[in-house]
Amino acid sequence: MKLITYAGGTILTGDDVAEALLGYVTAHSRGDESVAVDIKVRERDGSTRTHTLVLGPATELDVADVAEESLAGEIALFPLPVFPPGRILAVQEPSAETEAEAELHAADFNEAVEEIDQGTDGRFDR
């Protein structure tokens, strides 16, 4: 079990849930949007309830082991949260023109490397 300090409070949840939250927050720390994620939390009375966490670029989580807390069936009690998919801002197929430009730039680069290998830079004779 893990004790997570989040937004000034603490919640107790399963190890896998805490690991998934840390992974998600770390992977999306450079974004500019927040997402709401539902997770199962163990309440003080021993019951479990769903809590909604808002995760964003500034989210800070402190996760600590709670060694004395061990539950049989922890994975069943605390299923992994479902995270929204990462946003893809744009996908562009290369056009014939950009491929031709890339080939031209590659040829220029190869020529420059060859000049360096030969000890000349093409600007003046030695």
Torsion of CA 61, 65, 69, 74, to 10 degrees: 70
Give the pLDDT confidence of 34-53 residue by residue, as tens digits: 888 899 999 989 899 999 99
Q: Which pLDDT score, from 0 to 100, does residue 126 have?
A: 46
Summarize pLDDT for 81-106 with one digit per residue, the tens.
776 666 544 555 666 667 778 788 88
Q: What pLDDT score does 124 carry?
A: 52
Q: What is the pTM of this model?
A: 0.58
Of the candidate ranges 10-14, 27-31, 39-43, the one whose mean pLDDT is the lowest: 27-31
Q: Which residues are bridge partners to 42 per DSSP?
A: 12, 48
Contacts of 15 (CB under 8 A, 6+ apart): 1, 2, 74
